[in-house]
Amino acid sequence: MTQHATFQRMQDSTAEDWAIIRPEAARFSAGLPDRILAHLGLLEGDYGGFPVDRYTHCLQTAMLALKDGRDEEYVVCALLHDIGDTLGSYNHPDVAAAILEPFVSEGNHWMIRHHGIFQGHNFFHHVGLDRNLRDRFREHPHYDRTAEFVERYDSPAFDAGAPTYPIGVFEPMVRRLFAVPKQSLYRPAQTSRTR
């Protein structure tokens, strides 16, 4: 039987309460990769008018990065770059970036957070927006990294005729990346975040 803390207001919690909460929180945190993979699966069947569903798009993006020899962290970022489409229809890059932030380098985090503006260079002019919005970041150190991500991996990953790696190829990578955060409010920095 699981024990539960008994306070009604956080300020009334005690060290004894936290002795119950911390191991329960650790068990819950260990399930993060499963929850991420399940949430990514919600994109399956969601075409939104595109030639492939968003799930296939994410798999193709990750496949292209993997085939190009990108490291595991980058490949997982490519896999999850659009995971926010389900809940953040108007700010999906921010949702994906928030999920990834404790686990990835500053460069990969920035790339995912801004990929939507960079992808917009390819289509914003068709929908009445300024396709050059990305130019305001021209001097940012991760500008080229993000432009390359969109050009080489995100943009070409809408190919309905392309073979696509199954999620099983990427699942072990997701599990390794989300096993231990590099940085979190709840866990001090473990390694440098400037990759």
Q: Which domains does the chain have, with CATH numbers?
A: 33-177 (1.10.3210.10)
Residue 55: CA count within 13 A, CB half-sphere: 13
Number of CB atoms found within 10 A of residue 59's CB: 25
The predicted structure's pLDDT at residue 187: 72
pTM: 0.91
Determine the pLDDT at residue 189: 54
Q: Is the dihedral of CA 89, 91, 92, 96 positive or negative?
A: negative
User: What's the pLDDT score for residue 165?
Assistant: 98
Q: What is the pLDDT of residues 125-145, one digit of tens each?
A: 999 999 999 999 999 999 999
Q: Quick: pLDDT tens for 158-190.
A: 999 999 999 999 999 999 999 999 988 877 655
Span 64-117, pLDDT tens digits: 999 999 999 999 999 999 999 999 989 999 999 999 999 999 999 999 999 999
d(Cα 82, Cα 78) in Å, to the nearest integer? 8
- pLDDT (average), residues 38-47: 95
Q: What is the mean pLDDT of residues 6-32?
A: 91
Backbone angles phi, psi at 17, to 5 degrees: -60, -45
Other beta carbons within 10 angstroms of residue 151's beta carbon come to 14
